[in-house]
């Protein structure tokens, strides 16, 4: 049993990203879940979405982001279940109040431009290594 514990400790001490790796730091991963249709059911064209990314998201987060296509569902204010194509925007950042405000601005701009009831926003703490 002691041998297994020793092997485990040696294994952990060799992992990068645990402990003292100077390239690593605690960060937040934020995900914005953006519905792909308007409240009237019109599909948001890819070109319109790309213009939104270029005008609203990239200027606020020029260091980088990831966007992936998704398919989702949610219950709207009218209690009806809405199924729609979606996009998820993932941004890794340090968690400053400025970055938080920028994320709120992006969500508000998306709701306004594409007549959305809501933008779901999730947050996870990660250890990011570059």
User: What's the CATH code of the domain at 120?
Assistant: 3.30.70.120
| Structural domain containing residue 91 | 22-129
In a domain, 55, yes or no: yes
The tens digit of pLDDT for each residue in 44-77 reads 999 999 999 999 999 999 999 999 999 999 888 8
Q: Provide the number of structural domains found in the chain.
A: 1
Q: Is 30 exposed, middle or buried (0-12, 13-18, 19+ CB in 10 A)?
A: buried
- Asked if residues 83 and 63 have their Cβ atoms less than 8 Å apart, the reply is no
Task: Annotate 9-26 with b (16+ C-beta within 10 A) or e (fewer).
Answer: eeeeeeeeeeeeeeebee
The C-alpha angle 67, 71, 75, rounded to 5 degrees, equals: 115
Does residue 4 belong to any structural domain of this protein?
Answer: no
Per-residue pLDDT tens over the stretch 79-111: 989 899 999 999 999 999 999 999 999 999 999
Residue 9: inside a domain: no
């Amino acid at each position: 049993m002691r041998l297994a514990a020793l092997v485990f400790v040696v294994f952990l001490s060799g992992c990068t990203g645990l402990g003292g790796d100077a390239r690593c730091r605690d960060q937040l991963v934020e995900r914005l879940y953006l519905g792909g249709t308007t409240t009237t059911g019109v599909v948001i064209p890819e070109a319109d979405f790309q213009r939104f990314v270029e005008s609203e998201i990239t200027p606020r987060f020029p260091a980088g982001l990831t966007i992936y296509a998704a398919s989702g569902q949610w219950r709207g204010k009218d209690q009806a279940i809405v199924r729609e194509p979606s996009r998820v925007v993932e941004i890794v950042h340090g968690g400053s109040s400025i970055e938080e405000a920028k994320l709120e601005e992006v969500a508000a701009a998306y709701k306004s431009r594409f007549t959305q009831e809501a933008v779901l926003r999730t947050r996870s703490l990660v250890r990011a290594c570059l």
